[in-house]
């Protein structure tokens, strides 16, 4: 059986989505699912394509206990690649909307991925909270403390994301 493919998405693919991918890979490995789950990341904007992960993001990950090196090169998601993923986890409603517009163009006979905002899995977010209120805020224009807060905030979703992945795998 082919692996379940999960893609994390932010704007430039240098801060939130690569951090989420690093953390999710580790959570998947910890759950013993690394042989059946593949995790990647991408951005909705081409502006940072080819760039490495932001140094502030790397430092936040290290402070949170993750181990370098973090292999990463920013890339942009396009429809043809979107079709290769089963679950897509955007950070903001704008990214979710862009991905859903892309998914609306899926050719007949192909399956669009499930698109769920990252913080929909945050246990501190009440069920039914509108997507406009559950963004993982972009730390780009702030200092290191904002990156640290972003990583800590994103970590809260990991157990529920892994539980969802286990449910999806069980249903296959």
End-to-end CA distance of the chain: 9
Residue 62 near residue 68, CB atoms below 8 Å: yes
Q: State residue 28 phi and psi, 5-degree precision.
A: -65, -45
- Identified catalytic residue from 5, 34, 137, 138: 138
DSSP-based three-state secondary structure for 9: strand
- 147-169 burial, b at 16+ Cβ within 10 Å, e below that, comes to bbebbebbbebbeebbebbbeee
Annotation marks residue 15 as catalytic: no
- Identified catalytic residue from 15, 16, 54, 120: 16
The radius of gyration of the chain from alpha carbons, rounded to an integer in Å, stands at 15
Annotation marks residue 122 as catalytic: no
Residue 46 near residue 76, CB atoms below 8 Å: yes
DSSP-based three-state secondary structure for 99: helix
Q: Is 109 left (phi over 0), alpha (psi -120 to 50) or beta?
A: left
Annotation marks residue 138 as catalytic: yes
Active site residue ranges = 10, 16, 138
């Amino acid at each position: 059986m082919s692996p379940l493919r999960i893609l994390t998405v932010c704007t430039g693919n240098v801060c939130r989505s690569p951090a989420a991918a690093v953390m999710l890979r580790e959570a998947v490995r910890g759950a013993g699912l690394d042989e059946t789950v593949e995790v990647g990341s991408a951005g909705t904007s081409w502006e940072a394509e080819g760039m490495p992960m932001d140094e502030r993001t790397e430092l936040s990950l290290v402070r949170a206990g993750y181990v370098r090196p973090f292999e990463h090169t920013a890339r942009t998601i396009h429809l043809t690649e979107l079709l290769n993923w089963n679950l897509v986890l955007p950070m903001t409603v704008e990214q979710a909307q862009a991905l859903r517009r892309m998914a609306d163009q899926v050719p007949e006979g192909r399956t669009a991925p499930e698109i769920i905002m990252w913080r929909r899995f945050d246990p501190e977010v009440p069920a039914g909270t509108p997507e406009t209120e559950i963004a993982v805020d972009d730390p780009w224009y702030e200092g290191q403390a904002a990156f640290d807060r972003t990583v800590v905030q994103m970590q809260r979703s990991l157990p529920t994301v892994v539980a969802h992945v286990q449910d999806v795998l069980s249903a296959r």
